[in-house]
Amino acid sequence: MKKHNFYAGPSILPQYTIDKSIEGIKDFAGTGLSVLEISHRSKEFIACMNNAISLVKELLEVPSGYQVIFLGGGASMQFAMVPMNLMNSKSAYLVTGEWAMKAFREAKIYGEAVEVATSKDKNFSYLPKNYTVPADADYFHITTNNTIFGTELKKDPDVTVPLVADMSSDIFSRPVDVSKYSIIYAGAQKNLAPAGVAVVIIKEDVLGRVNRPIPTMLDYRTHIKAESMFNTPPVFAVFAAEQTLKWLKELGGLKVMQNKNFEKAQLLYDEIDRNKLFVPTVKDHEDRSVMNICFVMADEYKELEQPFLDFAKSKGMIGIAGHRSVGGFRASTYNALPRESVEALINAMREFEKAH
């Protein structure tokens, strides 16, 4: 039976990436060695790293004055590195979910972190609007996609202070105006590569402004200067990321990907809105995530939650249980998820509805 992978992360990768990674594990770049054992200082891996960086710049149309680096530690490491490198006295945060809240807590270690708005009052089921960012903030931090609760900021904000974004779960899913951001960071394990690496896009002129000493390994300038090779990078994850970036380019780029993702999400949201058994957790269509589609059983059918999970699993659906803090269901429709998987889930929902 075909499996349909809806896991929220680590999550589905393109078959292209998996196939090329298998080849690389057996023989990397014609070296006769596996990518799992190759030196990160070898000319073959340096070429891989440089190409991955080049493809990030090309796909996202990164302007001059920006640098792209690959770092270990995932996005959670960036929760600390951002305030450490950018915050002198005050930072501002939009708190729209669990990961945004964790980033906000880390910033408090380094100075005054201001919560400009939050949707915690309604369990993060909407995106705050009409908030004011303090003009004296060293930066404003947003989390563009909320994997646990299913909201997404789909437009690049216009603010007067440096803008920082955690794009872990929607990077490369759509075009982004990088020029509006000072830092974009993303853990790779949702839309790019296996877990273990983060990609960071940095506007160089935002660095070097803080008064505090920064540990060498946690200073962005260290990794920019060393071209992501200051210490041993996550070699295999970077190699896999390069394959995914090649795949995105061959598909036609991020506008093509955006259209595919919107179509998949719209199909599933339409079924959730139609089906008497299910209720979307995010009511405002504008706020609904294209990447993580969250829904629950209607109140009168709550007892059918586990039976539906069991039924869906019998049909090949993997990873559709909602996050433990929310319950219900979550279908993560990342770039690599084919439309046929969304259609298979919809068919399962309709079949289950008819039976109940």
Q: CB under 8 Å to 75, separation ≥6 — which residues?
A: 99, 166, 168, 185, 186, 187, 198
Q: How far apart are CA 290 and CA 85, in angstroms?
A: 31
Q: Beta-strand (E) ranges in 220-259?
A: none
C-alpha torsion angle, residues 160, 164, 169, 171 (rounded to 10): 80
Catalytic-role residue among 20, 154, 190, 264: 190
303 DSSP 8-state letter: G
Burial class (CB in 10 A: 0-12, 13-18, 19+), 150: buried
190 is catalytic: yes
Catalytic-role residue among 138, 154, 166, 203: 166
Q: How far apart are CA 154 and CA 168, in angstroms?
A: 14
27 is catalytic: no
Please measure the distance between the N-terminal and C-terminal CA atoms of the chain and give it in whole angstroms. Answer: 25
How far is the CA of 283 from the CAs of 124, 149, 230, 288, in angstroms? Answer: 12, 12, 46, 8
C-alpha torsion angle, residues 325, 104, 144, 81 (rounded to 10): -120
**Residue 341, helix vs strand vs coil:** helix
- Residue 155 and residue 177 in contact, taking contact as beta carbons nearer than 8 Å: no
Q: CB under 8 Å to 12, separation ≥6 — which residues?
A: 5, 6, 332, 334, 336, 337
Catalytic-role residue among 20, 99, 138, 154: 99
What residue spans of 252-286 are helical by DSSP H?
A: 254-274
Active site residues: 99, 166, 190
